[in-house]
Chains A and B, each alone.
Chain A
């Protein structure tokens, strides 16, 4: 169990570092999602099943979904931006 815990903790550090160095925002969010999943496995190793369920549902599920929706919203604003600029030129 200790070896498994150490492997999981190594994965945690790898995920946290690669979030900082990833160029693409979508990649960063996906890596953060896997960070949360590894975290929820680690909670099981630390004998806290309550935390494991909550982290899997909240950290890996809801938080990532909120990040994705934010990205989508930003892309939508970005796409509607050129139209506004053209409108501004016409006026």
Chain B
């Protein structure tokens, strides 16, 4: 439209009618042809219910392994195939193993110069009497840092999956108490004696990690088990006095960041051939082997908190 016309005049033109016809804005039969009044469509509620029931019945039949022949056959085939596959796997692995070099001999490819170096220079370079502890916390400390983070991430994921809000938490606590006596005298007496011993044993394992078998992981697990026993005997009110979500957060944060910083320092000095200020000490003493003892303590704290947190979250959905 190049020229501006008033609306009333425009409606009389051919162009207006043509575009109205094209867009279908006006029903051409309306008012011209005799029509019956249209009924509005109302769905029948009974029919809908019947349809739904039929649909459910069909689904029941389709996914019912008892009556559906195809599914029954598939299940039988699946069982037979998986058993055959496992037998085949056993045979394959046994044949492979029969060609491997014999156990207990030195001439295996595993016993190469890497292990020899760890054994020969481990005591001198790390100061740890326990070569395994020196290996996982000094030569391969980055690995162990990743593992501690795996534990931390696992705790967070379990927290996301099992977390409850406040009212649900109270309900869960009531449900939790329904299946066990509120204050079991035998359990409480036994826990009074056992918990200190278990926790002291765990601390001993952690502090002794560089001198003998043990270390952060096992000691932390023992301490966590002691805490779980204490929680079982005395309930959540007592443990919440010293262990809450905040405690967990700060302990994990400080342990992991201490681990990070300490190992960053030792990696930096090691890579740049600098002299590290951390003393090695005499091998065999409790305060020796440089960073291994504090790292063991950090790992042990993370593991103990993680195990307690797992247990508390499984029972109550939070702690």
In the assembled complex, the Cα of A65 lies from the Cα of B222 at a distance in Å of 13
| A63→B132 CA distance, assembly (Å) | 24
CB of A3 within 8 Å of the partner chain: no
On whether the beta carbons of B225 and A62 are closer than 8 Å, the reply is yes
Q: How many residues of A contact B (CB 8 A)?
A: 20
Q: Which chain A residues (52-91) contact chain B, with CB distance < 8 Å?
A: 52-54, 57-58, 61-62, 65-66, 69-70, 72-73, 75-76, 79-80
Is there contact, CB below 8 Å, between B218 and A69? no
Closest to A68 in B: B314
Q: List 6 A-B contacts (CB under 8 A).
A: A50-B132, A54-B215, A61-B225, A66-B310, A66-B311, A73-B315
Instruction: Kindly state whether residue A10 has any CB partner on chain B within 8 Å.
Output: no
Q: Is B217 an interface residue when CB atoms closer than 8 A count as contact?
A: yes
- Tell me if A57 and B222 are in contact (CB < 8 A): yes
B179 in the interface (beta carbon within 8 A): yes
Tell me if B314 and A70 are in contact (CB < 8 A).
Answer: yes
Instruction: List CB contacts (< 8 Å) of B161-178 with chain A.
Output: 175-176, 178
Check if B179 sits within 8 Å of A72, measured CB to CB: yes
The chain A residue with its CB closest to the CB of B130 is A50
Known: A50-B130, A76-B179. A65 touches B221 (CB 8 A): no
Roughly how many angstroms separate A69 CA and B309 CA in the complex, as a whole number? 13
Q: Which residues of A contact B127 (CB under 8 A)?
A: none
Across the interface, which residues of A come within 8 angstroms of B307, CB to CB?
62
Partner of B175, one of A54, A69, A76: A76
- B224/A54 in contact, CB under 8 A: no
Those of B119-147 within 8 Å (CB) of chain A = 130, 132-133
Q: Check A57–B221 contact: CB distance below 8 A.
A: yes
Contact B175 A53 (CB under 8 A): no
Q: Which residues of B contact A (CB under 8 A)?
A: 130, 132-133, 175-176, 178-179, 205, 212-215, 217-218, 221-222, 224-225, 228, 307, 310-311, 314-315
CA distance A61 to B220 in the complex (A): 12
Q: Do most interface residues of chain B lie in helix, strand or loop, or is the interface mixed?
A: helix
**How many angstroms between the C-alpha atoms of A62 and B151 in the bound complex?**
14
Given the complex of chains A and B, what is the CA–CA distance between A54 and B217 in angstroms? 7
> Shortest Cβ distance from B30 into chain A, in angstroms?
49
Q: Which of A58, A69, A70, A76 is within 8 Å of B217, CB to CB?
A: A58
Known A-B contacts: A66-B314, A80-B175. Give 5 more (CB < 8 A). Answer: A50-B214, A57-B225, A62-B310, A69-B311, A69-B314
Q: Which residue of B lies closest to A43 (CB)?
A: B213
Which residues of B are found within 8 Å of A73, using beta-carbon distances? 314-315
User: Which chain A residues lie closer than 8 Å to B214 at the CB level?
Assistant: 50, 53
* Cβ 8 A contact of A54, one of B176, B179, B218: B218
- Smallest CB-CB separation from B158: which chain A residue? A66
Pair B314/A50 contact, Cβ less than 8 Å? no
Q: Name the distance in Å between B134's Cβ and chain A's nearest Cβ.
A: 12
Q: How far is the CB of A12 from chain B (nearest CB, A)?
A: 15
On whether the beta carbons of A65 and B175 are closer than 8 Å, the reply is no
Rounded to whole angstroms, the CA-CA distance of A49 and B228 in the bound complex is: 24
Q: What is the minimal beta-carbon distance from A19 to any residue of chain B, in angstroms?
A: 15
- Chain B residues, Cβ within 8 Å of A48: 132
Chain A: minimal CB distance from B168 (Å): 12
In the complex, which residues of chain A have a beta carbon less than 8 angstroms from the beta carbon of B310? Answer: 62, 66
Bound Cα distance A76, B316 (Å)? 12
Give the Cβ gap from B255 to chain A, nearest Cβ, in Å. Answer: 18
Residues of A within 8 A of B225 (CB): 57, 61-62, 65
Residue of B nearest to A44 (CB): B213
Docked complex Cα distance between A50 and B307 (Å)? 19
